[in-house]
Amino acid sequence: MQKTNDSLKGFPGPYSSYVFKTIGNKGILKLVPSKRKAKFVSIITYCDKKILESFNAKLDGTISKSQKGKGWGYDPIFIPKNSRKTFAEVDHKNKLSHRFKALKKFSNWYLHKLESNGR
C-alpha cells in the first residue's frame, strides 16, 4: 500500500509511515505547493504455488490547507474526490476506502476461486 501526493511527485509513497512519524500532517501541509492533488493506493497480492494475483484500488483527492477532524494517519488532511470534507470527517469512510475496495476485489476473486474448485 502506498499514499502519494501527486503535487510532490509521489512522495511519501512507500515511506508514508516514516514520514508521518517524522514530520506528521503539519509537516506535510508545509511541503504541499498550490497544486494539492493526492491519492491513496492499496494493493493486495495473493500468492500460492501456482497463482500470483494482485488487486489494487485507489482513491483520488486533494490535500486540505489545514487539519480537520480526528482520524488516523493522513485522514485529517486528505479530501476525497467529490467531497468537501476530509477523510477524518466523512461518515461513510469505509465505502470510499481504497483498502476496502482492494479487499473487496480480492475477496470476490478468492470466493470465486473456492467455488470453482468445489470448496
Q: CATH number, domain at 86?
A: 3.90.950.10
Q: In what order do the strands lie in the sheet with 78-80?
A: 12-13, 2-4, 37-47, 52-63, 78-80
Mean pLDDT of 96-112: 94
pLDDT confidence of residue 4: 53
Mean pLDDT of 96-105: 93
Q: If we measure between CA atoms, which residue out of 115, 111, 110, 81 comes closest to residue 98? A: 81
Quote the domain boundaries for residue 23.
Answer: 2-116
Q: What percent of the chain has pLDDT over 70?
A: 92
pTM, full prediction? 0.77
- Structural domain total, the chain: 1
Mean pLDDT of 56-81: 92
pLDDT confidence of residue 52: 96
Report d(CA 24, CA 30) in Å as an integer. Answer: 10
Report d(CA 36, CA 64) in Å as an integer. Answer: 8
pLDDT at 81 over 70: yes
Q: What percent of the chain has pLDDT over 90?
A: 47
